[in-house]
Amino acid sequence: MRPVAFDYIAPTTVAEVVQALVDGGDDAKLLGGGHSLLPVLRLRMADPSMLIDLGRVDGLRQVREDGDGLVIGAMTTYHALAHDPLVGEHAGVLAQAAASVGDPQIRYRGTIGGSLAHADPAGDIAPAVLALEAVLEITGPSGVRTVPASEFFEDYFTTALGEDEVLTAVRVPKHTGWGMRYEKFSQVAQSWGIVAVAAAVRVEDGTVAEARLGMSNMGSTPLRSGAAETALIGQPVEAGALQRAAARAGEGTNPTTDPAGTPDYRRHLAGVLAGRAVAAAAGASG
Ligand SMILES: Cc1cc2nc3c(=O)[nH]c(=O)nc-3n(C[C@H](O)[C@H](O)[C@H](O)COP(=O)(O)OP(=O)(O)OC[C@H]3O[C@@H](n4cnc5c(N)ncnc54)[C@H](O)[C@@H]3O)c2cc1C
């Protein structure tokens, strides 16, 4: 089906984007890579009268160092994330998650900002962003504000973004010396994950000193796994011990039922994937 007719503008500054959002009100919609928005328009599940393309805005498509962190522009594509040397060195699980998204066409167009703003609980970027304890930079009429990733996702396809705000960057603390792994389980290659787990682990003197696990599809928003993270602290770097602790990843979650799996199946899968991810991230033997 064709979308309802809309006007199209392509501003070149964030200030112009915000002004266009204010002027457009409910009728304006931001366009990132378009891989989620355009299908929604073609199905006529949304009918904005104005699309504001972010593709020409200066500075939104870059990765740069800023002290102890990286600043990743919202229009940075999955392909760029997967190949960027700074992301690979300091936030490897984000590069791995981006490399797992869809197929090459999706990865060339889809953006980190679009993925997070769309807030599909099955998306691959959010678990990595949660595990890295990233902070999202949001720009609106009152200026720039920051929201921790853990407070950004509110419900299915719902975030802390206001209607007149744009996600401009993702700030990721450098995780130098941490081990990381993204594990995703799909029915067929290049499809969405039934469940995915992003693990970031810091090992000290042969035991786990810190562990963070972000998960997709385990509820109405992407989630951290508090139970498994706590159980992992102090565990020796040995695959069996790490897998037993990580098996608690699904505890306290309320995942959905769909043709790909029941809640019990997803909780089981989360435990298995968390075990694999943590063991690989920690470099465990056995
Ligand atoms: C065939 C197919 C397979 C896919 N497979 C996967 C997969 O395996 N894993 C996965 O994670 N995703 C997958 N996707 C989704 C893909 O990742 C999308 O690119 C992503 O969900 C949205 O990013 P986008 O840049 O395309 O955003 P758009 O589609 O342009 O926008 C999505 C929403 O976010 C808003 N938005 C966009 N940018 C911003 C911003 N900077 N600030 C505020 N709001 C903004 C838009 O207004 C819109 O509401 C798939 C999509 C398709 C079509």
Helix (H, G, I), strand (E, B) or coil at 54: coil
**Residue 58 confidence (pLDDT) above 70:** yes
**Residue 43 confidence (pLDDT) above 80:** yes
Measured from CB, residues less than 6 Å from any atom of ligand 1 are 29-37, 39, 54, 74, 101-102, 106, 110-111, 113-115, 117-118, 120, 123-125, 161, 166-167, 192
Question: What are the start-end ranges of the E strands in 156-222?
Answer: 158-159, 166-173, 179-185, 195-204, 207-216
pLDDT of the residue at 286? 61
Once rounded to an integer, what is the mean pLDDT over residues 266-280?
Answer: 98
Minimum CA distance residue for ligand 1 atom 12: 123
Once rounded to an integer, what is the mean pLDDT over residues 119-143?
Answer: 98
How remote is the CA of residue 246 from the centroid of ligand 1, in Å?
30
Closest CA to 195 of 280, 285, 122, 98: 122
Mean pLDDT, the chain, rounded, equals 96
Helix (H, G, I), strand (E, B) or coil at 155: strand
Residue 36 CA, closest ligand 1 atom number: 29
DSSP class of 64: E
Say how far apart CA 155 and CA 259 lie, in whole Å.
21
This prediction has a pTM of 0.97
- pLDDT tens-digit series, residues 198-236: 999 999 999 999 999 999 999 999 999 999 999 999 999
Say how far apart CA 55 and CA 166 lie, in whole Å.
13
Q: How confident is the model at residue 146 (pLDDT cuts 50, 70, 90)?
A: very high
Mutate which of 35, 53, 81, 159 for ligand 1 pocket (most atoms within 8 A of beta carbon): 35
Once rounded to an integer, what is the mean pLDDT over residues 77-89?
Answer: 98
How remote is the CA of residue 241 from the centroid of ligand 1, in Å?
37
Cα–Cα–Cα angle for 82, 84, 85, nearest 5°? 120
Percentage, residues of the chain above pLDDT 90:
93
Assigned token pair, 130: 């949660």
Compute CA 61 distance to the chain's CA centroid, rounded to the nearest angstrom.
17
CB neighbours of residue 223 within 10 Å: 26
Say how far apart CA 232 and CA 155 lie, in whole Å.
28
Q: At what angle do helices 239-246 and 263-282 cross, to 10 degrees?
A: 150
Once rounded to an integer, what is the mean pLDDT over residues 177-206?
Answer: 95
**Residue 163 confidence (pLDDT) above 70:** yes
How remote is the CA of residue 139 from the centroid of ligand 1, in Å?
19
How remote is the CA of residue 273 from the centroid of ligand 1, in Å?
24
